[in-house]
Amino acid sequence: MSCKYIYSHVVRLLNESDTMYIEFKDAMFGRPKSIRLLREDILRFMEMREIGARQILVYMGHLYQDLKKKDKADYFSFVDPGNIPTCLIGTDGRDLSQHIADQLEAVSRDSICLIPYNTGYHWILTIVNEDKNMIYLLDSTSNRNRDDTWKTIVTKCTMPRRVFLKGHVLKY
């Protein structure tokens, strides 16, 4: 289905109060998860405006379904972006590091973990690959406007729990 068709459908047929209910499989986050996607959420995405956690969840759900079809879903785990605060808790991010560590604790150690994070103005993707002792930070803005706070938080949260990651390398 083309994007133009979806966009015209949303504009013409959905009212401001209409929502789309989306359920995610238990295996994706280790627990049931559902969201209501608003008309405005769809329009934001289609008009290439700033998107939020609900739109990222739809992306993640699509990726999970695609991996499932290819029998590769067991190799990946996902952290729900709705469970990650978008601002620091505490003065040095220690509380947020612990929060992320708790999220990582819930996922399989044998999988590649995908963690979307909103820096407040921009989404980045963190990939924790324990097999290679690597943490990848994928940031489409490259080095522009880099805020190393997230890098510090991820480093703090992986080191105590995953001792074998102590020699980790952050890749950009």
Number of alpha carbons in the 13 Å side-chain half-sphere of residue 92: 5
Side chain identity at residue 149, one-letter code: T
Buried b / exposed e across 50-65, counting CB within 10 Å, b at 16+?
A: eebbbbbbbebbeebe
Q: Is the pLDDT of residue 156 over 90?
A: no
Q: Is the pLDDT of residue 27 over 50?
A: yes
More confident residue, 2 or 116: 116
Q: In what order do the strands lie in the sheet with 112-118?
A: 76-78, 112-118, 123-129, 134-138, 169-171
79-171 placed in CATH 3.30.310.130: yes
Read off the pLDDT of residues 73-118 as tens digits, 9 standing for 90 and up: 888 988 888 877 655 555 455 566 676 777 677 666 678 889 898 8
Q: How does residue 72 score in pLDDT terms, banded at 50, 70 and 90?
A: very high
Q: What pLDDT does residue 12 have?
A: 86
Please give the Cα distance from 52 to 32 (Å, whole number): 20
> Are β-strands 169-171 and 123-129 bridged in parallel, bridged antiparallel, or unpaired?
unpaired
Q: How does residue 46 score in pLDDT terms, banded at 50, 70 and 90?
A: confident
Of 160, 169, 156, nearest to 97 by C-alpha is: 156
Average pLDDT, the chain: 76
Q: Is the pLDDT of residue 149 over 80?
A: no
Q: How does residue 71 score in pLDDT terms, banded at 50, 70 and 90?
A: very high
- Domain definitions of the chain by residue range: 79-171
Rounded (10°) CA dihedral 14, 24, 116, 48: -20
99 with 130: CB under 8 angstroms?
A: no
Q: How does residue 158 score in pLDDT terms, banded at 50, 70 and 90?
A: low
Q: Where are the beta strands (DSSP E) in 65-157?
A: 76-78, 112-118, 123-129, 134-138
Using DSSP's 3-state secondary structure scheme, residue 95 falls into: helix
Q: Name the DSSP class of 164.
A: G
Taking residue 77's Cβ as centre, other Cβ atoms within 10 Å add up to 24
Q: Is the pLDDT of residue 68 over 60?
A: yes
Read off the pLDDT of residues 120-140 as tens digits, 9 standing for 90 and up: 778 888 888 877 778 888 887
